């Protein structure tokens, strides 16, 4: 019972310490606004506007499409370079969060971004991928059938020798950016501001759901649930690599699997 209580209502750890200085607290708040305005927070606003636009159209949500990895150039080589540029941007977003923590005196091993446990981190990541990925697919199919989700197309890239490796890199870029920013960086900064673990967790999870609103209500709910699970695991373990690995594996299966199965199986919308 005490273990369950510790998971549901964990005590805030003493490290990092709550920042008491008023100017420093203001600086952290401004930093959070700036970082998420130029990264995933602005993506959340754009996703909300996209969903509102979809809801105002005469077609049902299930008859509309939301593509994630789309062609960015007519020439194949240029398209590949555009895709890789986007991957670089995502990794840079995550690196920004990691750098700001390090620059603020928080060693990256304290948020689980070290290489001390590669084997166990990968195994745990595989477990997280199964825990979230399989129910997540079921939730998406159910939401789509109920008309609460757009038809999500993880990839509309044409066949090319570079498609699978680039989609794999895109999966890593997405996972690295999201888990570093929305989990390690955000939850650490909120701890410094004195937020409770549960309040910070819900804020992080809703933020994660917000930039998936373009997929419909199902995408929002599914990613909020993922945020609650991933965020709590990080709060309890302070290991970030399992989250990055688990998220990346989910996206690899979605991106590469969809590209391979599109038009070949009847159950896939």
Q: Quick one: how many helices (H) and strands (E) in the chain?
A: 10, 2
Q: Which of 224, 220, 218, 178 is nearest to 202 (CA)?
A: 224
Q: How far is CA 98 from CA 20, 110, 186, in A?
A: 23, 11, 10
pLDDT digits (tens, 9 = 90+) for 54-83: 999 999 999 999 999 999 998 999 999 999
Cα distance between residue 197 and residue 224, in whole Å: 16
Q: Is 91 within 8 Å of 178 (Cβ atoms)?
A: no
Per-residue pLDDT of the chain (269 residues; tens, 9 = 90+): 567 777 888 888 888 999 999 999 999 999 999 999 999 999 999 999 999 999 999 999 999 999 999 999 989 999 999 999 999 999 999 999 999 999 999 999 999 999 999 999 999 999 999 999 999 989 998 998 999 999 999 999 988 999 999 999 999 999 999 999 999 999 999 999 999 999 999 999 999 999 999 999 999 999 999 999 999 999 999 999 999 999 999 999 999 988 777 766 655 66
Cα distance between residue 18 and residue 51, in whole Å: 37
Contacts of 182 (CB under 8 A, 6+ apart): 40, 204, 207, 208, 227, 231
DSSP class of 149: B
**How many C-beta neighbours within 10 Å does residue 11 have?**
8
For a pLDDT cut of 90, what percent of the chain falls above it? 84
**How many C-beta neighbours within 10 Å does residue 16 have?**
16
| pLDDT reported for residue 257 | 84
Q: Is 91 within 8 Å of 177 (Cβ atoms)?
A: yes
The answer to pTM > 0.75 is: yes
Cα distance between residue 93 and residue 75, in whole Å: 27
């Amino acid at each position: 019972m005490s273990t369950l209580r510790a998971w549901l209502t964990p005590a805030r750890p003493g490290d990092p310490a709550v920042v008491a200085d008023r100017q420093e607290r203001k600086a952290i708040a401004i930093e959070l606004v700036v970082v998420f305005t130029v990264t995933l927070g602005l993506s959340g606003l754009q996703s909300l506007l996209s969903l509102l636009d979809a809801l105002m159209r005469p077609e049902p949500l299930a008859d509309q499409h939301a593509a994630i990895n789309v062609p960015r150039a007519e020439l194949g080589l240029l398209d590949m370079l555009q895709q890789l540029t986007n991957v670089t941007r995502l990794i840079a977003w995550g690196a920004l969060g990691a750098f700001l923590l390090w620059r603020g005196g928080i060693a990256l091993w304290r948020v689980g971004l070290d290489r001390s446990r590669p084997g166990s981190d990968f195994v745990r990541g595989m477990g997280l991928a199964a825990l979230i990925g399989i129910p997540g697919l079921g939730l998406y199919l159910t939401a789509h059938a109920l008309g609460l989700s757009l038809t999500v197309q993880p990839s509309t890239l044409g066949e090319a020798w570079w498609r699978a490796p680039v989609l794999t890199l895109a999966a890593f870029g997405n996972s690295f950016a999201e888990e570093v920013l929305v989990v390690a960086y955000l939850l650490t900064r909120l701890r410094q501001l004195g937020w409770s673990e549960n309040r910070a967790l819900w804020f992080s999870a809703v933020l994660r759901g917000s930039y998936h609103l373009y997929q419909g209500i199902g995408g929002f709910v599914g990613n909020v649930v993922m945020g609650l699970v991933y965020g709590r695991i990080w709060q309890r373990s302070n290991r970030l690599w399992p989250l990055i690995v688990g998220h990346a594996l989910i996206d690899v299966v979605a991106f590469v699997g969809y590209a391979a199965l599109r038009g070949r199986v009847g159950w896939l919308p």
